[in-house]
Amino acid sequence: MRQLMFSIAALLAAGSASAGVGCESLARLTLPHTTITLAQSVAPGAFAPAKPFSLAPPGPGPYKDLPAFCRVAVESRPTEGSLIKFEVWLPFGGWNGKFLAVGNGGYSGEIWYPAMSEPLSRGYATASTDTGHEGGVDDASFALGHPEKWIDFAYRAAHEMTVTAKAIVHAYYSADAKRAYWSGCSTGGRQGLMEAQRYPADFDGIIAGAPANYMTRLSAQSVWMAQALHEKPGSFIPATKLPALHAAVLKACDAGDGVADGVLEDPTRCSFDPQSLACAGADAPTCLTADQVEAVRKIFSPLRNPRTQEILYPGLLPGSEAGWGAGVGPVKLQPSPLISGIFRYVLFKDPNWDYKSLNFDEDMTRADHGEAALTNAISPDLKAFFARGGKLIQYHGWADPGISPLNSINYYQSVAKASGGAGALADEYRLFMVPGMDHCRGGDGTDHFDAITALEQWVEQKKAPDQILASRTRNGKVDRTRPLCPYPKLAAYKGAGSTDEPASFVCRTP
């Protein structure tokens, strides 16, 4: 500790951080099991990553409008076999005095530069990690023979990044960040919940979107869907049939919430029978064969233990069909590696493992109680996080085709039960379900909303979010704005006014 404080003090003497002076001096900062490999001043709009971000389209992306900042690249080796890389970005001017870390997606083994752009532009010091390995969002092969890297991915990388980034912020600005926030979706949502559960002192507020926090069960449910689609030669549902299936769901249920607007306000209230789309004659893109009808029923149904009939994981919900092609429909012979990776490389440690062989009784017991379960962030005990004044905003798209929205509701209810009921939880944790939204973003719903400001106001001004305004953009223009309501409330149409305007809706408990 004395060495750390001495290093920070010496660094602060090098110059004024507020003007960007002293950025390069951060390279001399000494921190435990950490090497700073780059400390570089970046001019406005000049940032260019060494290689394109794997999920971003080509071009300048969000970087051309970035303000000037100090870019710090870090390597952390907390244990033998562990190498965690991350970056910390520090705005030269206009720092808001706060720190916001961003999460990853899938098995992503890269720093999420695009996600860092928004908080930097808003005046935050920000950070992102590669989770301790290099690789794509659907590649879990890094875990085979590398148990420390699996631990890094599960929880250690985010925590190491956070602790070290805070020290770098202090060194650069000669002050601690007044507040620390986390924002992430999917794996990033899981990381946020993991932080609240394992390291409750890391953050004052957390945004956890569509969290993949029950990794073993989520992966099993995805494998089960893949099995259902390949159970018989005619079970597979090609992407060409998904529009007709989605249209049939909307025809059956869209108007049930009082507004026929192309989205389901609460798909749990939708009673859709895929038999209604059964082919009366020859197979066609507008109908389902008998085997496909059965496959749809299985996808909408929860995964159960075949011996005990215990529900292991909820199924997808009506309204999500348009997105099935991303994870369910495009590959006829094998499911996405994202689906099978945890079993292939962690549970069975066999790159040639066949997804059709997964046993949902014995194999799931092994998965839930072994190394694979290190990624599960399912503890309902958030009391230490809440005791520090921590606030949690969780959101999930009702039309998510990758992670069942019911997973978020199940977790919220488990925390409510452990905390004395949903009423007692209202001052600490709110869940917002987003009608029509796909996985994290996209879909036909209002998928753009400012959860960061809502979290700031909650933490800093004690103003709990009774609703969050969300918008939808079509052809570059906002064409719909609606309120998102804290679960279990729904946005109910008042019966008058435009259904594309938020004033026409009120948050109401059904």
Peptide bond into 488 cis (omega under 30): yes
Cα 390 to Cα 367: distance, rounded to the nearest angstrom: 31
CA angle 429/432/436 to nearest 5° reads: 165
| pLDDT of 339 over the 90 cut | no
Mean pLDDT, residues 375-383 taken together: 98
Distances (CA, A) of 229 to 134, 242, 279, 340, 507: 32, 14, 18, 15, 38
> Tell me, what's the pLDDT at 488?
97
DSSP 8-state symbol, 18: G
97: left (phi over 0), alpha (psi -120 to 50) or beta: left
Q: Report the amino acid identity of residue 432.
A: F
Mean pLDDT, residues 202-213 taken together: 98
| pLDDT of 1 over the 60 cut | no
> Tell me, what's the pLDDT at 336?
76
| pLDDT classification of 57: cutoffs 50, 70, 90 | low
Q: Which residues contact 259 (CB under 8 A, 6 or more apart)?
A: 265, 493, 499
| Dihedrals phi, psi of 328, to nearest 5 degrees | -110, -40
- Is 400 noted as a catalytic residue in this protein? yes
Task: Please count the CA atoms within 13 angstroms of the CA of 108 that sit on its side-chain side.
Answer: 23
Residue of 204, 400, 438, 444 with catalytic role: 400
> Tell me, what's the pLDDT at 337?
82
SS3 51: coil
> What six digits make up the tokens of 403?
């992670």
> Tell me, what's the pLDDT at 156?
98
Cα 201 to Cα 180: distance, rounded to the nearest angstrom: 10
Residue of 25, 128, 183, 186 with catalytic role: 186
Mean pLDDT lowest among 95-109, 110-124, 365-379, 416-430:
416-430
Do 401 and 211 contact (CB within 8 A), yes or no? no
Mean pLDDT, residues 382-410 taken together: 97
| Dihedrals phi, psi of 315, to nearest 5 degrees | -80, 180
> Tell me, what's the pLDDT at 334?
61
> What six digits make up the tokens of 232?
């018989």
| pLDDT of 131 over the 90 cut | yes
Mean pLDDT, residues 156-179 taken together: 97
For 394-407, how does the pLDDT look when each residue is reduced to its tens digit (9 = 90+)? Answer: 999 999 999 999 99
As a whole number of Å, the CA-based R_g of the chain is: 23
- Is 186 noted as a catalytic residue in this protein? yes
- Is 439 noted as a catalytic residue in this protein? yes
Mean pLDDT, residues 241-246 taken together: 96
Mode of pairing for the β-strands spanning 84-91 and 34-42: unpaired
**Residue owning tokens 């859709």:** 272
Q: Report the amino acid identity of residue 477.
A: K
Q: Report the amino acid identity of residue 439.
A: H
Q: Which helix (H) or strand (E) holds 392?
A: strand 391-397
Cα 235 to Cα 292: distance, rounded to the nearest angstrom: 5
| Dihedrals phi, psi of 104, to nearest 5 degrees | -110, -170
Cα 40 to Cα 42: distance, rounded to the nearest angstrom: 6
SS3 30: coil
Q: DSSP H helical segments within 44-131, as ranges?
A: 113-121
> Tell me, what's the pLDDT at 432?
98
For 441-487, how does the pLDDT look when each residue is reduced to its tens digit (9 = 90+)? Answer: 999 999 999 999 999 999 999 999 999 999 999 999 999 999 999 99
Do 88 and 168 contact (CB within 8 A), yes or no? yes
DSSP line for 212-275: ---HHHHHHHHHHHHHHHHSSTT----GGGHHHHHHHHHHHHGGGGS--SSS-S-GGG----GG
> What six digits make up the tokens of 160?
């190491």
Chain centroid, CA 304 distance in Å: 25
For 111-124, how does the pLDDT look when each residue is reduced to its tens digit (9 = 90+)? Answer: 999 999 999 999 99
10: left (phi over 0), alpha (psi -120 to 50) or beta: alpha
Q: Is this prediction's pTM over 0.85? A: yes
Let me know how long the chain is: 510
Buried b or exposed e, range 426-451, using 16+ CB within 10 angstroms: eebbbbbbbbbbbbbebbbbbbebeb
